[in-house]
């Protein structure tokens, strides 16, 4: 899963950067194309966040079941929950950036031109997504190691019975 998440995150960052570049050239190319690409980029960003959150939720349930059935150390569950909380915080920050850049873009479109706030918000959204994806990748990677170790321990306990 870490490599899949990394590919999705990189694709989203590239889409956001392309959207920003298209917005920079919007007067020549047309604002509608920029808005369409921006909306697609933001929706894809939401999709990436949902994939990460769903992965942590499902693997958390798997770990909980292995701990319960195998009688493993319950502190493993605390670690899995901490990872999920970490991804949830990143998700909230990234979606907050999406809402801010969308709101400033809507104001700019309504005013019939660009505003400095939208340009700043777009740059911040790119930086926020980079930071959030970096942290989420770290969490997804650590969670994958936790899942592997937990399932290996559970398998040992199961074979011993």
Tens-digit pLDDT string for the chain (161 aa): 889 999 999 999 999 888 888 877 766 666 678 888 888 988 898 899 999 999 999 999 999 999 998 888 889 999 999 999 999 999 999 989 988 988 888 888 787 766 788 888 889 998 999 999 999 999 999 999 999 999 999 999 888 87
Cβ neighbours, 10 Å, residue 71: 10
Q: Which is it for the CA torsion 138, 144, 146, 149, positive or negative? A: negative
Domain boundaries, the chain: 2-160
Q: pTM (2 decimals)?
A: 0.83
How is 59-84 classified by DSSP, letter by letter? HHHHHHHHHHHHT--THHHHHHHHHH
Q: What is the DSSP letter of 113?
A: S
């Amino acid at each position: 899963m870490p490599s899949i998440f990394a590919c999705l995150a990189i694709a989203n960052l590239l889409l956001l950067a392309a959207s920003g570049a298209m917005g920079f050239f919007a007067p020549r190319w047309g604002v509608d194309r920029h808005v369409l690409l921006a909306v697609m980029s933001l929706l894809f960003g939401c999709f990436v966040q949902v994939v990460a959150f769903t992965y942590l939720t499902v693997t958390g349930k798997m770990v909980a079941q292995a701990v319960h059935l195998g009688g493993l150390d319950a502190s493993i569950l605390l670690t899995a929950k901490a990872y999920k909380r970490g991804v949830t915080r990143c998700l909230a920050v990234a979606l907050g950036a999406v809402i801010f850049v969308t709101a400033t873009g809507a104001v700019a479109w309504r005013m019939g031109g660009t505003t400095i706030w939208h340009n700043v918000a777009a740059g911040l959204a790119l930086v926020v997504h980079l930071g959030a994806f970096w942290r989420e990748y770290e969490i997804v990677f650590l969670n994958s190691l936790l899942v592997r170790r937990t399932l290996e321990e559970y398998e040992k306990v199961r074979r011993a019975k």
